[in-house]
Structure 1
């Protein structure tokens, strides 16, 4: 089994005079690799009035015989979370019990199966649709073994994602997702909310509140400075591209169509009962207005008591697919490895395109024994000895879950996040670069959030053979590497412009901490790189850990020399959103 290379597609095309276009509507896929279960489940709406849905399974389990219950839950899986992502509190209530439609899945008997059902039981999109929800499989004989996946659009289909990110006095995000087009005959719009109050005073009981919410638009003549204001009192126009004559019926009047939005009392109380998923066919045209760039759209949440007062607002911005590339040009190997993830709710795709000059000229393939993502980017070449392999200074394999190698089995959750060759070449065989060429999917390789692999290093290993008088040893050692750098798009060679800030420590600790973020995009993730920090005052000869660290408001004064009152000049901790520590 080659994990991640399943690529099931049900294709249907109608030929026209001027080309081709799909005739089978939207195709959805759930990519599963968890608890010893790996593969794909594809959902395809068939054309015609019958509305038949074809379900095709392509699953393998590590057990000789096993039975799995499968259900659909209302919330998608967030792949930014690498642990405990399948709980009921994360994915919400059951919207469809597939056991009642098809019966449980018996593996390996139903591992590769084609199942059909009528459209009156469920649909691919719409109010009864599967798109944007999660597929959860649970082993009948062992309830602790559970696998889940977002039911997402297959391949590079027509799907757009936008986000309204709130910071204060409400935190969290509202995601807007559009799928399909009028050409495909299937369109749908989803809103996913995950909001909470910030700054709740200590001692007060946080409660869930409900609020009116609407989409506002700027005037086409508003300046960019107006559009970037933090204060949303300048907003006056509810988004109404259809010029509705009935009050409360504009496209931006969300509450009149789908009701009020819930906001949790604090981040600690976030639960599937507060998070919400809403279908809203009235927002189909918003994606066009959002991408036109002529107007800015804002999501406004009103005060729970004073219904005419703005409580919080956030600009709605398109989420472009996250793209990372590692360029390799060393030891006769040339090419690039590309990682892409459409949104936090979609799997990451790995595309490898590497060639070996030795293989090209001599016909002898150079093989790599492993390829892994390490914690740190490579040290710049001028900083190391030219004879020293700079890939040796990239830290350990990225493993935020602290998974041990002996836990590895037949699914991606049993490997370190950075152990790509383990997840996609489970037999640990040496591979040539020609064999690596192609694409694979990975649901444990986040490019958004706390465990993002951005700015880390991709390291290829080579097997070292050492023979002594007593034994012959074979070990894998880092060989060639590249930094996973952000790019504009998969098919473009333009890097994302990056802003970099650094804090240089000179006494009593010596070293540097670097902050990197996409330029002019302060709402995006910031990568923090901690370079080597050492004790420079001679008072400590041992390694130390678990130091508190924070960004403070003021620049440091000369009191960093004062051992009794060091760094008091830095002032308070930087807290622009007035959040209250837990």
Structure 2
């Protein structure tokens, strides 16, 4: 950990310490606002660190909680799916003594010769054990924002159990994947082990803690223009293994609307399958490719992965972001007639370079039937300082262009006959493009010129600076005090959901966004049903925190992120990929 203080933040590690009574998470954050911090003074320097202890979520405490789930009343004779039916054990913890066995009507492993069953062996019920362990983890662990961007050092009981099953060989430790913990958990549950009767339960809990509590993602790194590019992915959520293709598209997914992956323009930036083959999900892997193999793998170029979307299979998609991405400048021009739709300009500084993108989604609403057409286009600034004399419906007051035509750098803009994925295009602006000043006395307009008469204006719209959208709810009722904050930086970003609540007193469970606002004189029942504009069928949703976000109502926050059962307070944040 001390070595991390001298490294760049993205190279520093997360330490997860699985003790007996609690699990401790510690790392050096890049963003200090809104998280509990402690101060260290190694070598006379002061450093801020994030550290959080999940009390009663250590390995021994987890055993106690898992056994309590299946204990009736004061009777400590327990049948658990995490034990082999042929193995019994008496175990004490925190003043309680359990007499433990596997399920009387448990699972069996059949031994076959061809189609003939020649024997059966009682086994633990791994699937049910995993469900109980994941429910425990998802109701108590709230992942810090940055943990999925760092290397994780897992110590204490993580090390002990990995050593027990041979995943590592000695004091030096080793690299172990979450998938390996799952495999070893399945093996342990599949064999009677009187010497280590808790091995199935312990490994299943560890796999669930790492899998559901501290999730990963798809990450691309390059330290310098001449270095190889590293691609690391950790994907979960599928019930069974599936090999799928994966590719990067030039256009992003619009996260401001509950659109499907098929709504993204299918124009491919790079098909990873051509270089690495298909990937298997669930799974995790680190790949490497020299940047000189293909210009698209140079993250220091002007046309990078930032702002593009990645599609895995047919129905899994998201947008790339930059680690530590904060200062994104965003502006939009909204057209009404004779062209309808929107144009987004985005700009970000990465290192010493400014990267600018323009995203267009335009269609014709003046002709019957509508017609597709391609137009030259350019930015213009008003000459008239008195804005009262300007008409948004006409472009005649625009006389002064800004720079050269956009058509010269990125081609003509497409106006489609109907709204469709192919009409949603994203282009990379040259590095000498200067993001226009939008807070001055003069207004900036995007002008689309007539397709047949390029010297004439066809449509125009004012370019407005866009800022993050923030919604906040304040609670002060029945002893519960605190806030819930939802922030979406731009239409191509997921929504960050933060909770800071006290006084729950173990009474909390689900939490949802409802249809109607609450009047001060009304009860919570007057808020209507869950916010569900996409018409998700509730009885097809999976358990809380199990499925992907699109499988739940937009307002079903606990369905997407897990229940808050058994908590006295909540302080943490998560990313919601289906909450525009």
TM-score range, shorter chain: 0.5 to 0.7
Q: Distance in 2 between matches of 1:334 and 1:98?
A: 48
Change (3 A) 1:136 1:326: same
Q: Please give the per-residue CA displacement for 1:353-377, whole angstroms capped at 9, x wherever unaligned.
A: 1122xx7xxxxx3431110111111
Change (3 A) 1:92 1:328: same
- Pick the structure with more helix per residue: 2
Q: Please give the per-residue CA displacement for 1:286-336, whole angstroms capped at 9, x wherever unaligned.
A: 15x23x434321100111112111111011111111100001111111111
Q: CA deviation at 1:152?
A: 2.5
The structure whose RCO (Cα within 8 Å, separation 6+) is larger is 1
**Is residue 396 of structure 1 aligned with residue 529 of structure 2?**
yes
Q: How does 1:74-113 map to 2 (within 5 A)?
A: 74-83=250-259, 85-87=260-262, 90-108=264-282, 110-111=283-284, 113=285
CA contact (8 A) 1:76 1:134 kept: yes
Q: Please give the per-residue CA displacement for 1:262-296, whole angstroms capped at 9, x wherever unaligned.
A: 1112xxx2233333221112564215x23x43432
> Alignment partner for residue 72 of structure 1, among 218, 242, 248?
248
> Alignment partner for residue 215 of structure 1, among 359, 376, 379?
379
**Is residue 371 of structure 1 aligned with residue 511 of structure 2?**
yes
Identify unmatched segments of 5+ residues in structure 2: 1-133, 152-214
Q: Distance in 2 between matches of 1:200 and 1:98?
A: 41
Tell me what 1:169 maps to. Answer: 338
Change (3 A) 1:4 1:321: farther
Q: Distance in 2 between matches of 1:217 and 1:191?
A: 18
Q: Distance in 2 between matches of 1:282 and 1:228?
A: 33
Q: Please give the per-residue CA displacement for 1:443-489, whole angstroms capped at 9, x wherever unaligned.
A: 1111xxxxxxxxxxxxxxxxxxxxxxxxxxxxxxxxxxxxxxxxxxx
Change (3 A) 1:335 1:227: farther
Tell me what 2:414 maps to. Answer: 262
Q: 2:321 aligns to what SS in structure 1? A: strand
CA contact (8 A) 1:91 1:134 kept: no
Q: Distance in 1 between matches of 2:496 and 2:432?
A: 29
Q: 2:396 aligns to what SS in structure 1? A: helix
Tell me what 1:114 maps to. Answer: 286
Q: CA deviation at 1:132?
A: 1.6
CA contact (8 A) 2:409 2:430 kept: no
**Is residue 277 of structure 1 aligned with residue 426 of structure 2?**
yes
Q: Distance in 2 between matches of 1:443 and 1:278?
A: 24
Q: Please give the per-residue CA displacement for 1:384-425, whole angstroms capped at 9, x wherever unaligned.
A: 4xxxxx101011111222322343142111111111111111
Q: How does 1:299-310 map to 2 (within 5 A)?
A: 299-310=446-457
Tell me what 1:44 maps to. Answer: 221
Number of residues of Structure 1 aligned to a counterpart in Structure 2: 371
**Is residue 199 of structure 1 aligned with residue 199 of structure 2?**
no
Q: TM-score when scaled to structure 1? A: 0.59
Taking only aligned residues, the RMSD between alpha carbons, in angstroms, comes to 2.5
Q: Distance in 1 between matches of 2:390 and 2:464?
A: 12
Q: TM-score when scaled to structure 2? A: 0.60
CA contact (8 A) 1:10 1:44 kept: no
Tell me what 1:136 maps to. Answer: 311
Q: CA deviation at 1:128?
A: 4.1
Which has the higher Rg, Structure 1 or Structure 2?
Answer: 2
